Structure 1
Amino acid sequence: MKKGVLLINLGSPDSYNPKDVKKYLGEFLMDERVIDIPYVARALLVRGIILKTRPKASAAAYKKIWWEEGSPLIVISERLKKKVQKQLKVPVALAMRYGSMTIKKGLQELVDKEVEEVILFPLYPQFAMATTETILVLAEQLKQDYFPNLKLSSIPAFYNKPDYIELLSNSIKKHLQGINYEHILFSYHGVPERHIKKSDITKSHCKIDGSCCITPSKAHQFCYRHQCLEVTRLVAERLQFKEGTFSTSFQSRLGFDPWLQPYTDRTIERMGKNGIKNMAIVTPAFVSDCLETLEEIAMEGKEIFEEMGGETFTTIPCLNDDEEWASLISKWVKEQFETTNN
């Protein structure tokens, strides 16, 4: 069977025009795995409230970080795809879960090249309902509806793979060289606490009580919180960070339900108030810099820190289109093909 690879990231509006942003947000927030409440309530919330107020503010935020070539997330992902393609002998396509670069278009591009077996590669280190799961569910539905003869497999969450931890650690170390910092904050994208419990395959382990994530369990295979904390632990261990000089937080909450804590913005604020003058921040839930890293962290986070008396706020870039990251993706794809062939 002729094989192919589909790299899949979150997505982006086509432009920072409020109309394009509204369209994008509508698709994103109406996903039942992003806002997981009944359809009618979700529609009332998203279309009746959020889409009447948020697009203008989000458009202004996108405008701040927009590149001449387009959306940073899209541009970086396309650069990465080209580098991966150079290292693989099979066709590589790129798609986004939301926006105009649809997964259907990505699969069609590969089918047009006579591909019969596709490896789906969600570009998320950790598993979450609102990221990996929604991609895999949609891809399977598209296969049933449009590509019944296509064989699909996927790359699982790679948060604890030794070669990934080594690459991430080396990247952090490189960007911290010559930097005077007192604390490094590992900031991950937030999710509602109920998502963690819904993803618990044991239906009993996840209590978000401070101990369940460090107690061995089958639930960890799909526990976003555990996987985030594990990335922090493994990187800190590899780079020999001293206890008390690093911590974990979660950003980008929405609505009034409890989300994973501690919150990044409040953590940054607290550090400034407590006399931390120099801090660094890394965002290991993302492999590509995007609105959440370039605006929410590098701009808003920096502003909060300085308002609280902080002086130096160092933002560590994502892996983006790093050559070694492209090589690692290619390596995992080759290993996956070997597995599916056996």
Structure 2
Amino acid sequence: MKGVLLVNLGSPKSPTPKDVKPYLDEFLMDKYVIDVPFLLRALLVRGIILTFRKRQESSAEAYEKIWWDEGSPLIVLSKRLHDKVQKKVEMPVALAMRYGEPSIEAGLQELADKGVTEVLLFPLYPQYAMASTLTILVKAEEVRKSKFPQMKFTDVPAFYNKPDYIQALANSIKSGLEGFDYDHLLFSYHGIPERHIRKTDVTKSHCKIDGSCCVTDSAAHAFCYRHQCYETTRLVVEQLGIPKEKYSQTFQSRLSGDKWLDPYTDVEVNAMPAKGIKKLAVVTPAFVSDCLETLEEIAMRAKEDFEANGGEEFHAVPCLNDNGEWIGVLANWINEWAHAEIPAV
């Protein structure tokens, strides 16, 4: 029997330091997030980052700003997505988070209890990255081998350039921009260290991050986050007919002390008013569900910074969330896989 496991990032149980700390520990101690040797990672995370109460309180305050009555926005929106997809497919669909709850083990157990032996493992990330897609695939395989050896996985590859996804994303952005006469549209993607790009380069030589490698055909592109982000942007603006001078792309959420993908969202946003950009719209296509990075970092902090530097109007376009067209795309992919040996995407 076939089934589906949708997997998103995760969230603390509550916006309090006591719940944020263990969540951050699980997240930051992941070797695919902070990719340094274990002892150094433990020293950095548990010896420095998580020992300072102000850091925990700051993170908790950020979550508190975006928390809904129903709970974490990411969890609530993911559950809505799951429920709507389940209504459109015949096979069992379970929801899991890479960090926090519901866990990947719990999601697989839910499917196993329903007799599922073939699982479509579906990371809810359009673009491939070590710290998102890869860590989900690795964790799920560890759990499968340990707890569910009878199960067989089919992994859904990055869907950053799939026509039906691009169509749904473009339509969602168009709807989100309705009534807002923007001067500029910014595509802000989650940042990652540049070394992650080189580590995922299957050719071991193509990815130089030199301005040309992302537009030069290569097998490396199947796992290159940077290329996939730029390709998503290119396809969306092509779909919407946005002129080159009206949009740009940046990367957010970097950590200090390391070289991350640039240009940086905060730097670019702060500089835009001085360049005559007074009405700014921002979309965040690295996420399919709104979360801390979109609701607090962009819709709140970036907005405050933009206005403090002379900007007049700022509009954060919602993620796909439980958009009807997007639900339809997911259901179609799942239903096609249900009648084939490989996923439709």
Q: The TM-score by the shorter chain falls in which range?
A: over 0.9
**1:24 partner letter:** Y
Q: Equivalents in 2 of 1:157, 1:285: separation in Å? A: 11
Number of the residue aligned with 2:65:
64
2:122 aligned residue: 121
Does residue 14 of structure 2 align to residue 27 of structure 1?
A: no
Q: 1:17 and 2:16 equivalent?
A: yes
2:221 matched residue in structure 1 = 220
Alignment-derived partner of residue 185 in structure 1: 186
Unaligned runs of 5+ in 2: none
- Aligned counterparts of 1:52 and 1:262: Cα–Cα separation in 2: 31
Write the distance in 2 (CA, Å) between the matches of 1:304 and 1:273: 13
Summarize deviations over 1:87-135 as a string: whole Å, max 9, x none: 0111110000001211000000100111111111100000000000000
Checking the alignment, whether the CA contact within 8 Å between 1:127 and 1:223 is kept in structure 2 is yes
Please tell me the residue identity of whatever aligns with 1:263.
Answer: Y
CA–CA distance in structure 2, aligned partners of residues 289 and 27 of structure 1: 21
Write out aligned runs for 1:29-44 (5 A): 29-44=28-43
Deviation string 1:127-170 (CA, Å, 9 cap, x unpaired) is: 00000000001111111111110011121110000011111111
Give the distance between the partners of 1:243 and 1:100, measured in 2 at CA.
Answer: 42
Q: Deviations over 1:156-196 (max 9, x none)?
A: 11000001111111111112122111100000000000000
- Paired position in structure 2 for 1:233: 234
Structure-1 residue corresponding to 2:165: 164
1:276 is aligned to: 277
The structural deviation recorded for 1:336 is 2.3
Is 1:105 matched up with 2:72?
no
- Are 2:127 and 2:225, in contact at CA under 8 Å, matched by a contact in 1? yes
The whole-number CA distance in structure 2 between the counterparts of 1:253 and 1:188 is: 11
Alignment partner, residue 286 of structure 1: 287
Matched, 1:152 2:159: no
Point out where structure 1 has 5 or more consecutive residues left out of the alignment.
none
TM-score (norm 2): 0.97
The answer as to whether partners of 1:275 and 1:309 remain within 8 angstroms in 2 is no
1:337 aligned partner: 338
Q: Report 1:201-216 matches (<5 A).
A: 201-216=202-217
Q: Which residue type is aligned with residue 4 of structure 1?
A: G
- What SS does the corresponding residue of 1:339 show, helix, strand or coil? coil
User: C-alpha distance in 2, partners of 1:7/1:100?
Assistant: 13
SS of structure 2 residue aligned to 1:181 = coil
Question: Aligned-pair distance for 1:259?
Answer: 0.3
Does residue 307 in structure 1 map to residue 308 in structure 2? yes
Greater mean alpha carbon deviation, residues 222-231 or residues 171-180: 171-180
Deviations 1:254-293 (A, max 9, x none): 2311000001000100112222110100000000000000
| 3-state SS of 1:15 partner | coil
- Which residue of structure 1 lines up, in the alignment, with residue 51 of structure 2? 52
Q: Is the 8 A contact 2:154 2:342 kept in 1?
A: no
Moved over 3 A (4+): none
The amino acid that maps onto 1:293 is: T
TM-score (norm. length: structure 1): 0.98
Aligned-residue RMSD, C-alpha: 1.0
Shift of residue 341, structure 1, vs aligned partner: 7.1
- Count, aligned residues: 341
Per-residue deviation, 1:339: 3.0
Identity of aligned pairs, percent? Answer: 63
CA distance in 1, matches of 2:45, 2:71: 26
